[in-house]
Amino acid sequence: MVSQHGIKFAVHIITKHFGNLVAKVCECLLRRGALTLQNIVRYTELTPTQVKNSLLVLIQHNCVQAFILEEPGGFGDTLRLITQYVVLFDNILHRLRFSKFLALVSLHFDKPCLDLLEGLLQHGRLSLQQMFDRARETEGSNVTLSTVQENLHKLVTARYVERCPIPEPVLEPPSENDVAARKRAAKSKIIVEAETLEQRVVAASFPSDTLRFSVAVNPELNIDCATEHAGEKRKFDALESDIDGGATTEKIILWRANCEEFVRQLRNKACIENVRARLDDDAATVFSAMVEASGSEEKKIKVVNSAPLSVNAIYEEVIKSEKGRNMTFNHVRASLVQLSSQPRFVRVADETYSIDFKNIVELAQNDEVESVVLKRYGRTAYKIFRLLSKDGRLVETDKDLSTPLTQDRVMKISDSIFVEKKESANMLYKLWQDGYLLMERLVAGATQFLLWKVDKQKVWWHFLDEMFHGALNLSLRVAYEIDQRDEILKLREGASKEKRDRLVKVRMLMESSLMKLDDAIMLFHDF
């Protein structure tokens, strides 16, 4: 499920990149979930051709995935196969991050690789031949197919590039177990992170890790033909598969950038910077060696912690880096002690160390939210908010921290944290109105209690929605400023240098702010 402003922001991105028609189809899918072609036509009131073309664009840019849902037919046990389309929200947001992805790759790869990746990001999906053509355009005719292939292999080995997923994976209807589990969850009012349809489709569309990153093109290897697509032709077929059997004639492998790997790298980078900010450079060096050493093991983004590493393994990795070369074994040990004491970045068990990603991400999330509370509502609010969201910052044992606090208790505590009672009462209401606190009324006999708490799941969700809102506003304002600039330049040929300089500065500030805000969005949405 995507929050309201998440949808608006995504639609804004698509409108900016692909125009209104495509955006309309995209919005329809974002708001209504997976749909068949007919239904999209019905809801958007566009012509079937318009919808088809829009879907093609969205599929080409990995923002929509088609899939086939097996549904029991009307009579008997026959299964009806229906092609549906689901929008991939994450991939829409990734479109903002292309510059970040390229910056990551530029650290370890040369210009031709970078160009190749840029082509993939720009065009969504490309075949080797298309990449080759592009390379010849930019670098001249002495580029050979085999060098392009080599570069592609390098990027695929690093997992920055992958094969495109199966065009229309078949999805089985949810089993009875799933349905029962969902009902149970709904009853207990707990928002469990049940696998969304989007996630199920994505999982089904990848055959296997080996195939996903397989660079072999030798047909004798007998690769599942499902991973081989017939380029543009095949996709049209997919869209018309109700009518036409969709027989493929030529088999072309299509490639695309693997955003998952980029986001994982960005998460690692964010964690390392967090360690540096809270501890010091040495700790960051040791920590980043740990990230390096466990990198090959761990491929998911949302992981709780990394695989355990021994001190020796960590040390070995530390001295590989330039900064770590002058660190002694004891030095590294001391940093590990530092990393594993509170606030904890690393877990220790049986002399092995693993990165506590979950905790690091949570700490960073807390910082982000608290900073907004402090700057928007002031210090009293900041204290109250921290008081209610404690999460282990206070190791008091006499209270169950997950339970909400009664108004009375908040008052008593706010008293002892030196906030005037009236001020804190007003602030509780304000924060509640704005969605930063939850309030519950509890009636016991004639008396009524007010319970307050920071329900992380709900508050974080609200906060993320506000960040999407902020990102949308920022982006709209950038567009407005650019319009203004064009106006000014049009009106007066010789618009003063000062004015022009200002606009350059404005744009730079806003765009870099948007990138930073996007880092924070990733912190809540992706990591």
Partner 1 sequence: MVFTFHIPATRMNRSLGPPGPKRKRPESSSQSDSLTEQERILYEVIRSKQDMGIWTRDMKRETNLQDSVVNKSLKVLVAKNLIKEVVNIKNKGKKFYMAAEFQPSKEITGGAWYAEGQLDTALISFLKDFSAKQIQKQRVLTLDVISDLIRRSGVLKVDLAEQQIKDILRALVLDDEIIEVLSTGTGEFASFPVGKVCYKCTSKGARGGEPKTGAFSSVPCGVCPRILLCTPEGVISPKTCVYYNKWLEF
64: its two tokens: 């929509």
Comparing CB distances to partner 1, the nearer of 182 and 505 is: 505
- Least distance from partner 1 to the Cβ atom of residue 101, Å: 19
Segment lying near partner 1 (by CB under 8 A), choices 47-55, 180-188, 191-199, 336-344: 336-344
**DSSP states along 186-248:** HHTT----PPPHHHHHHHHH---HHHHT-----GGG---GGG-BBHHHHHHHHHTTTTS----
**Smallest separation, CB 443 to partner 1 (Å):** 25
Q: Which of 472, 485, 525, 527 binds partner 1 (CB under 8 A)?
A: 472
Q: Which amino acid would we find at residue 214?
A: S
Interface with partner 1 includes 513 (CB under 8 A)? yes
Residue 446's DSSP bridge partners are none
Separation between Cα atoms, residue 58 and residue 14, nearest integer Å? 9
Least Cβ distance, residue 510 to partner 1 (angstroms):
8
**Number of other CB atoms surrounding residue 345 within 10 Å:** 28
Say how many Å lie between the first and final Cα of the chain, rounded: 17
The vertex-162 CA angle with 354 and 68, nearest 5°, equals 105
Among 253, 374, 439, 451, binds partner 1 (CB under 8 A): 374
| Residues numbered 152-171 forming contacts with partner 1, rule: CB under 8 A | none
Q: Which is nearer to partner 1, 192 or 329 (CB)?
A: 329
Nearer to partner 1, 38 or 433 (CB): 433
DSSP string for residues in 488-518? HHHH-TT--HHHHHHHHHHHHHHHHHHHHHH
- 343: contact with partner 1 by CB under 8 A: yes
Scan for tokens 């994450």, then name that residue. 90
Instruction: Give me the helix-helix angle, 37-44 and 4-32, nearest 10°.
Output: 120
Residue 367 interacts with partner 1 (CB under 8 A): yes or no:
yes
CB of 526 to partner 1, least distance (A): 14
Nearer to partner 1, 139 or 434 (CB): 434
Give the chain's radius of gyration (CA, Å): 27
Shortest Å distance, C-beta 24 to partner 1:
16
Q: Does residue 279 touch partner 1 according to CB under 8 A?
A: yes
338 binds partner 1 (CB under 8 A): yes
**Which listed residue (80, 299, 376, 399) binds partner 1 by CB under 8 A?**
376
Q: Choose between 85 and 382: whose C-beta lies nearer to partner 1.
A: 382
Residues in region 423-452 near partner 1 by CB under 8 A: 434-435
Binding mask 219-258 for partner 1 (x = CB under 8 A): ----------------------------------------
417 touches partner 1 (CB under 8 A): yes
Q: Name which of 227 and 424 has its Cβ closer to partner 1.
A: 424
| Alpha helices for 240-328 (secondary structure H) | 259-278, 281-295, 311-318
The one among 108, 393, 399, 499 contacting partner 1 by CB under 8 A: 393
Structure tokens at 47: 């012509």
Q: Strand 447-453 vs strand 438-444: parallel, antiparallel, or unpaired? A: antiparallel
Task: Spell out the residues 6+ positions from residue 167 whose beta carbon is closer than 8 angstroms to its own.
Answer: 59, 66, 229, 234, 235, 238
Q: Per rule CB under 8 A, is residue 370 in the interface with partner 1?
A: yes
CA distances from 377 to 278, 284, 374 (A): 25, 33, 6
Stretch that binds partner 1, among 132-140, 240-248, 254-262, 375-383 (CB under 8 A): 375-383
Q: Please report whether residue 486 would count as binding partner 1 according to CB under 8 A.
A: no
- The CB-of-273 to partner 1 minimum distance in angstroms stands at 11
Contact partners, residue 467, CB within 8 Å, separation at least 6: 517, 520, 521, 524
Positions touching partner 1 (CB under 8 A) are 277-279, 334, 337-338, 340-343, 367-372, 374-376, 382-383, 386-387, 393-395, 415-418, 420, 434-435, 466-467, 469-470, 472-474, 476-477, 480-481, 502, 505-506, 509-510, 513, 516-517, 519-520
